[in-house]
Amino acid sequence: MVAVGTQGVARGEVGTVMSELTPPSESPTWVLLDATAENADDPHGFPIPSEEERGGLKPGDTVKLVVVLTEAPQSGPNAERRWAEVVSVELDQHQSPRYLGRVTDDPSVVTSLRVGDPVTFDQRHVAGIAMAPEEVAFAVDHRALVTLDAAEAKVPPGWVSHDEPVADDDSGWTVCVGDEPPGIFDGDPDEVTRSLTLGELVLRHPALVEVFQAGEGDWLYDPALTRYVRVKPTSNGSEDSTPSRPVDEVDPAER
């Protein structure tokens, strides 16, 4: 399952549990993040699906919610991303959808909300939508070569390029910030790169889904469009100076 998701946490709307299935708590221990408000504050660091996508969910769709503890613990995180499958859809008095879902993954932070528990939410709470397996055109467990700066970036990496894979689990993708110095791949790989799966990368940066679905090419992130655009050759035929990995020098054991 490939996520189109989010980062960051904040307090939001109270998450409610359907009373006919599970009695509601008298003292709610968690709230759902208002993803649309978070996205409005930080559209590049907190991308979410479009309003049309969030408002058009149907039973069987799987969505990402961000659940926040109402009382922060003394140590450790106070929120986590949780997946829920849409079970049914109802319209409120304004004809806006209200979703009933069931949690599909085990908790690590919000232990009061477990697999199988029902939860209701609105489209503003949807932080991501999972792609169905048949929609995914790339192997999420294949790996990309990611520069250290790109691996630590909070915003989408600026440059992504594809070369011929060199191993069975190699995707062929190289992910860079875009302003790395020439010869960056000449040094010790452990000091300048990380090996991350495509699944990990799209969880961090959902805009990469379109790139990996294409399966080839060189791509540049356009902040104004909040998406990647395919790079075309320059009019004079010169090549872009952005570094790409030397395929014949990549040790698969280091990937």
- pLDDT per residue as tens digits for the range 4-56: 433 333 333 444 444 343 333 333 788 899 999 999 998 877 888 889 999 99
pLDDT value, residue 92 = 75
pLDDT value, residue 186 = 84
Residue 54, SS3 per DSSP: helix
* Region class of 224: left (phi > 0), else alpha (psi between -120 and 50), else beta: alpha
* Region class of 71: left (phi > 0), else alpha (psi between -120 and 50), else beta: beta
Whether residue 139 has pLDDT greater than 90? yes
DSSP-derived secondary structure for 102-122: EE-S--SS-TTS-TT-EEEEE
Closest CA to 229 of 155, 147, 160: 160
In 131-253, which ranges are E strands? 143-147, 159-162, 170-176, 193-197, 218-222, 227-230
Q: Residue holding tokens 């960051």?
A: 8
Contact between 2 and 130 under an 8 Å Cβ cutoff? The reply is: yes
What is the pLDDT confidence band of residue 135, given thresholds at 50, 70 and 90? confident
pLDDT value, residue 20 = 42
Alpha carbons 228 and 207: distance in angstroms, whole number: 7
Distances (CA, A) of 214 to 160, 162, 228: 12, 10, 11
Which of 138 and 7 is assigned the larger pLDDT? 138
* pLDDT tens track for 198-252: 999 998 888 899 999 999 999 999 988 888 999 965 444 444 444 444 333 333 3
Closest CA to 171 of 131, 192, 201, 193: 201
Closest CA to 145 of 160, 126, 128: 160
pLDDT value, residue 233 = 58
Non-local CB neighbours of 164 within 8 Å, separated by 6+ positions:
172, 247
Least confident of 115-129, 131-145, 194-208, 230-244: 230-244
Sign of the CA dihedral with 119 first, then 120, 125, and 127 last: positive
pLDDT value, residue 161 = 96
